[in-house]
Amino acid sequence: MESLMSILIGVFFAIGTYLILTKSLLRIILGTSIISHGVHLLIITMGGVKAGGPPLLGLGSTSFTDALPQALILTAIVINFATTAIFLVLSYRSYKVLGTDDTAQMRGNEDE
């Protein structure tokens, strides 16, 4: 399972990186989202999968999956949501102001 997951995560990173390297702002944001999925899966896989029951004490299981990675990922998901939202609004704004969503055309400043 872990080996397969590693390959899956690698694919996520590769696709995410390729999207980030494109010019369109929307694609870049899509790329960051895919990479963060990869990161979440990476963290949880590294914590060991299916090693015990869910980390809920009331269910009566004797061993639990590592709860710490889960807590970390929970934080990561929420923060990722916040950054994605900002990315989206930023790209919306820059398109409104600059009239393009192509990063190649956003080069330089008025002084140049």
Partner 1 sequence: MSLLHIMILIPFIFAIFVPLLYKLFNSRIHTGWFVLIIPVVIFIYLLRFIPGISSGEAAYQSLNWIPSFGINFDAYVDGLGLVFGLLITGIGALVILYSIYYLSKEKEALHNFYVYLLMFMGAMLGLVFSDNILVLYVFWELTSISSFLLIAYWYQREKSRYGAQKSMLITIFGGLAMLSGFIMLSMMTDTYSIREMFTQVDTITGHSLFIPAMILVLIGAFTKSAQFPFSIWLPDAMEAPTPISAYLHSATMVKAGIYLVARFTPVFGGTSEWFWLVSGIGLITLLYGSVNAVRQTDLKGLLAYSTISQLGLIMSLLGIGSAALYFGYGDEADLYAAAITAAIFHMINHSTFKGALFMVVGIVDHETGTRDIRRLGGLMTIMPITFTVAVIGAFSMAGLPPFNGFLSKEMFFASVVDVSNLTEFNMDTFGILFPIIAWVASVFTFIYSMILVFKTFRGKYKPERLEKKAHEAPIGMLISPIILASLVVIFFFFPNMIGDYLLKPSVAAVLPAIAENSIMDMYITPWHGWNTELFMTIGVIALGTLMYISLRKWAGIYRMYPQSITLNAIYNSALDKAQSWSASLTDKYMTGYIRDYIAYLFGFFILFVGGTLIVTNSISFDASNNAPVNFYEIALMVAMIVAAFTVLLAKSRLTAIISLGVLGYLVSMFFVIFRAPDLALTQLVVETVTTALFLLCFYHLPRFKEQVHKEKKGVPFKPLNLIISIGVGVVVTLFALSANGTRLFEPIAGFYEDSYKLAGAKNIVNAILVDFRGIDTMLEIFVLCIAALSVYTLVKLGLSRREK
- For the chain, the first-to-last Cα distance in angstroms comes to 54
Q: Residue 110 Cβ, how far from partner 1 at the closest point, in Å? A: 14
Q: Which residues pair with 53 in a beta bridge?
A: 64
| DSSP 8-state assignment for residue 64 | B
Sign of the four-CA dihedral 80, 82, 85, 86: negative
* Residue 31 structure tokens: 């790329």
Q: Residue 36 Cβ, how far from partner 1 at the closest point, in Å? A: 10
Q: Residue 24 Cβ, how far from partner 1 at the closest point, in Å? A: 6
